[in-house]
């Protein structure tokens, strides 16, 4: 299969990379598409995968597929997972109306169920409404992932969840991986009860690291990290409607930990001794980014709860296109130089 700038995959020397997968609810199907395309490149192999929320789901399912049968099996497992998520949501009240379906709009902004739920979260907590604390994704994860296999094989996993008591992020690794860890990483506090792990309550990892980059740099052999981001960092114009304001607040809050960590990395590379210790680790780091700005700028917060299979397929196809563009533009740079200029972030501080 042809890859970057006319080179064939068979001609490329193998490159070991890490993946950093951002969370974003149903928008995680875009990341599925990116991974689906990257897995077709035989010259890429995977050392570590860091993920948060939907990014954590993608990370674990991909790692399971790689451990079970390699890249092709990982593609199969990812599709199986997202199809199961769509099937589990068939009875969900969060569905598009006839007008949205007719006009091809991917939004729940006009869904009575979504509007009611959005108002209800300001009046009631999940402990009032979801008294049993159930989450339909639990059964999907149990069916789709062999967690015992992940503890023994596959890429290194780093899944972030936020400790409610301390406000700090906790990074879970392969041997600690369970359905509860993934549900904690994706636990929106207005919709689900906190997930208890080792006696502590946990919420969505996006509040603390979305995703967490540091363990990839410190604990993995790869010197290249491919970041797959979902939430737009910049959005033109000033939000004016209540929905637009809520959407932008969501994007800013879930981008903030990642931006802070990248700025920290840029500062470390400049001030630390590049020859030894922490400075040497960060100095060798090369970061690349696959972004979905075009499609994500068209989508709002409500569509992160839209679990329709056609929506997942649309996002998957957009992700594949973005990955294809990334490989053609920057593929030859992987293993050679960074293509994301994190140093520019220092000037914005």
Per-residue model confidence as pLDDT tens digits over 154-170: 999 999 999 999 999 99
pLDDT of residue 17: 98
Range 92-99 average pLDDT: 87
**With 80 as the cut, is the pLDDT of residue 4 above it?**
no
**With 50 as the cut, is the pLDDT of residue 1 above it?**
no
CB contact at 8 A, 253 and 224: no
Question: Model-level pTM greater than 0.75?
Answer: yes
**What distance lies between CA 225 and its chain's CA centroid?**
14
Angle at 99 between CA 97 and CA 104, to 5 degrees: 95
CB contact at 8 A, 197 and 181: yes
- Strand duo 286-291 + 195-197: pairing: unpaired
CB contact at 8 A, 66 and 155: yes
**With 90 as the cut, is the pLDDT of residue 78 above it?**
yes
- Which candidate, 100, 118, 120, 101, places its Cα nearest to that of 110? 100
pLDDT of residue 2: 40
Per-residue model confidence as pLDDT tens digits over 14-65: 999 999 999 999 999 999 999 999 999 999 999 999 999 999 999 999 999 9
The mean pLDDT of the chain is 90
CB contact at 8 A, 178 and 227: no
**With 50 as the cut, is the pLDDT of residue 145 above it?**
yes
pLDDT of residue 227: 97
Range 267-293 average pLDDT: 75
pLDDT of residue 344: 74
Query: What is the total residue count of the chain?
Result: 349
- Which candidate, 84, 78, 80, 85, places its Cα nearest to that of 33? 78
Q: Tell me which residue has tokens 């329709």.
A: 308
Per-residue model confidence as pLDDT tens digits over 201-235: 999 999 999 999 999 999 999 999 999 999 888 88
Share of the chain above pLDDT 90, in %: 61
């Amino acid at each position: 299969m042809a890859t970057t700038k006319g080179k064939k995959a068979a001609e490329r020397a193998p490159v070991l990379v890490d993946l950093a997968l951002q969370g974003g609810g149903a928008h995680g199907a875009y990341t599925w598409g990116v991974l689906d395309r990257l897995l077709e490149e035989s010259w890429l192999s995977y050392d570590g995968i860091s993920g948060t929320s939907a990014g954590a789901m993608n990370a674990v399912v991909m790692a399971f597929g790689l451990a079970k049968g390699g890249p092709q099996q990982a593609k199969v497992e990812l599709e199986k997972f997202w199809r199961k998520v769509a099937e589990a949501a068939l009875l969900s009240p969060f569905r598009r109306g006839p007008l949205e379906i007719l006009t091809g709009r991917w939004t729940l902004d006009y869904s009575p169920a979504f509007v009611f739920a959005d108002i209800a979260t300001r009046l009631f907590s999940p402990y009032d409404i979801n008294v049993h604390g159930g989450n339909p994704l639990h059964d999907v994860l149990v069916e789709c992932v062999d967690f015992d296999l992940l503890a023994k094989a596959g890429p290194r996993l780093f899944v972030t969840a936020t400790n409610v008591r301390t406000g700090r992020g906790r990074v879970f690794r392969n041997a600690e991986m369970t359905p509860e860890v993934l549900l904690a990483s994706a636990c929106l506090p207005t919709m689900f009860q906190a997930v208890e792990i080792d006696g502590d309550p946990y919420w969505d990892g996006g509040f603390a690291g979305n995703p967490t980059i540091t363990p990839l740099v410190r604990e993995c052999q790869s010197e290249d990290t491919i970041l797959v981001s979902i939430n737009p960092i910049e959005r033109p114009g000033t939000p004016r409607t209540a929905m637009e304001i809520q959407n932008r607040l969501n994007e800013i809050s879930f981008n903030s930990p990642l931006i802070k960590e990248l700025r920290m990395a840029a500062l470390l590379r400049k001030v630390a001794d590049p020859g030894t210790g922490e400075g040497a680790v960060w100095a060798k780091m090369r970061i690349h980014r696959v972004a979905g700005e075009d499609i994500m700028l068209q989508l709002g917060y409500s569509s992160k709860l839209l679990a329709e299979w056609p929506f997942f397929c649309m996002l998957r196809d957009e992700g594949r296109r973005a990955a294809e563009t990334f490989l053609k533009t920057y593929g030859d740079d992987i293993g050679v130089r960074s293509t994301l200029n994190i140093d520019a972030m220092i000037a914005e501080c």
